[in-house]
Amino acid sequence: MATKVYIVYYSMYGHVEKLAQEIKKGAESVEGVEAKLWQVPETLSPEILGKMGAPQKNDAPVITPNQLVEADGFIFGFPTRFGMMAAQFKAFMDSTGGLWRTQALAGKPAGIFFSTGSQGGGQETTPLTAITQLAHHGMIFVPIGYTFGAGMFEMEEVKGGSPYGAGTFAGDGTRQPTELELGQAFHQGKHIASVAKKLKSSV
C-alpha cells in the first residue's frame, strides 16, 4: 500500500504555494509515495482579500481536520505573521481538537515550510513556534537539518530556508522563489516522504 503524504498549506500571494508544488514533486520522486496538495480554509472575506491584492486561489481542495487521519505523513506550509504562522493556518490547527483528544495523529512524521517578507522576518522563529502544534498532537517533527548539502551554505545569493525546513522571501510581493529555494523545497519533499515511508514499513 502506498505511503500517503499530505502537503497542507496556506498561501495568500502564491509564494508558499510555489514551494508546496515543488515539495509535492520531491515527495512523488520517492517510489511508493502518493503526495497530495491541500489548502486550509480561508478566514478572510473575498472583499478583504481583494483590497489586499490577493490573487484567486488555485484549485487545490480545502482540507477538513478529519481528512488528516488518512495521511501517513505531513508537510505543513504557511507565511509568517510577526514571526509566527499566519492566522488562517492557526485557525485550522485550532479546529483539530477532536484529533488531539484521541491522539489520532500521534507518531506521524511532519515537516514545516514557510515564507517571510524579509531576511529577519522569521525564517527560524516561524517553524520554531509552529513545532508546538506538532508536539501537542504527538507528531514527529522532521527537520531537513543540513541534508540539502552545499545549498544550505550558499552565501552568494539571498536564500530562504533553514535547518527547520524550506523557505523563501516574498519581499514586497514581487520576489518569487529562486531555483535554489525550489531545489530545497524539492529536497524537503523527498526527505520527509522517505522518512514517512520508512516509518510506515516498520509498523
Please check the confidence at residue 203 and state whether its pLDDT lies above 80: no
Distance CA 183, CA 191 (A): 12
What's the number of CA atoms in the CB half-sphere (13 Å) around residue 8? 26
Segment 24-30 shows an average pLDDT of: 98
Can you tell me whether residue 48 is helix, strand or coil? helix
Place of cell 519581499: 171
Asked if 177 and 15 touch (Cβ cutoff 8 Å), the reply is yes
pLDDT tens per residue across span 76-94: 999 999 999 999 999 999 9
**H-assigned helices in 29-118:** 46-51, 87-94, 97-102
pLDDT tens per residue across span 109-158: 999 999 999 888 889 999 999 999 999 999 999 999 999 999 999 999 99
194, amino acid identity: S
What is the structure's pLDDT at 55?
A: 86
Please state the separation of Cα 110 from the chain's center in Å. Answer: 9
Q: Which of 166, 171, 157 is nearest to 120 (CA)?
A: 171
What is the structure's pLDDT at 93?
A: 98
What is the structure's pLDDT at 127?
A: 96
Asked if 11 and 17 touch (Cβ cutoff 8 Å), the reply is yes
What is the structure's pLDDT at 173?
A: 85
Give Cβ neighbours of residue 79 (< 8 Å, ≥ 6 apart). Answer: 10, 11, 12, 13, 15, 16, 86, 114, 115, 116, 170
Asked if 137 and 96 touch (Cβ cutoff 8 Å), the reply is yes
Segment 34-51 shows an average pLDDT of: 95
Please check the confidence at residue 193 and state whether its pLDDT lies above 90: yes
Asked if 9 and 74 touch (Cβ cutoff 8 Å), the reply is no
Task: Please state the length of the chain.
Answer: 203
What is the structure's pLDDT at 53?
A: 87
What is the structure's pLDDT at 119?
A: 86
What's this model's pTM, rounded to 2 decimal places? Answer: 0.96
